[in-house]
Amino acid sequence: FSFCGTLRITKRFALVSENWMFKFEEETSPFILGLAGRIIGKRLSTDIGMFFFEEAEMPIPWLDVTYHW
């Protein structure tokens, strides 16, 4: 199950949230929470943020680059 969203702040910047929940037969379901800022260019967009895991002590860096043909 995933729940994701984007909130456009300005013409060239947005906040991005990507969240996943995994359903297992256990009582507790692990989840991953991703929060990032998206820098939007004419052909190139870059996401810079962090992934947070329920059991992790520190967040994991998130870098994503998208080129639009």
Mean confidence (pLDDT) of the chain:
90
Name the residue with tokens 């507790």: 28
Q: How many residues does the chain have?
A: 69
β-sheet with 31-40: strand ranges across:
2-10, 13-21, 31-40, 44-53, 60-67
Q: How large is the average pLDDT for residues 4-20?
A: 95
Q: Is the pTM of this model over 0.85?
A: no
**β-pairing verdict for 31-40 and 44-53:** antiparallel
pLDDT of residue 27 exceeding 70: no
